[in-house]
Amino acid sequence: MSYSSAFSQTYKDHEIKAAFIINFGKFIEWPASSLADNRFVIGILGPDYFKGTMQIMVRNKRIGSKEVFVINFITTDEIQKCHILFVHPDMISQMDEINKKVGKFPTLIVSNYNNFCVLGGMINLIKKPNGYGFEINKKLAEGKGLKLSSWLLRLARVIE
């Protein structure tokens, strides 16, 4: 029995992806120091991949006790401290600059691009026969001090 078709009918692809991004925030624990200002920031690099739905979806939503903010960075230069950074597939070529810009801040870098995790990404959204799944570069994420919940790992394809 398949129910995923029902989701695809109800939700558009970018809506599902936006939900994934927000939910990562819920299943990953950030170091306390990064959350000192009581804000949880989601950054979107490049053109708005989610066509403004992310902003709508985080309205009145909290991750833990934190208020959620969405910031769109058009260029890598604009990148500020954020807990999750979604990299537009078109910007993958600038991964080095992005990493440099993020620096030591425990930012979860997410994208939707083939082999993203091999290319230095932490979570990559992937298309599956019945909807969407994700890959995680566990070493990389944990190296940044992020704690991945078992629920998340169970669903993910872990890339070493």
Kindly list the residues in this chain that would bind another protein in the complex (CB under 8 A). Answer: 1-4, 6-7, 10, 16, 19-20, 23, 26-27, 61-64, 130-134, 149, 151-152, 154-155
Q: Based on CB atoms, which residue is closest to another protein, 33 or 60? A: 60
Burial bucket for residue 145 (CB in 10 Å: 0-12, 13-18, 19+): middle
As measured in angstroms, the least distance from the Cβ of 74 to another protein is 29
* C-beta of 9 vs 33, nearer to another protein: 9
Nearest alpha-carbon partner for 22 in 40, 5, 7:
40
Nearer CB in complex with another protein: 62/100? 62
Residue 44, helix vs strand vs coil: strand
Q: How far is the CB of 20 from another protein (least distance, A)?
A: 6
Give phi and psi for 135, each to the nearest 5: -110, 150
Quick one: 63 or 122, whose CB is closer to another protein? Answer: 63
The two three-digit tokens of residue 82, written as one number: 């954020």
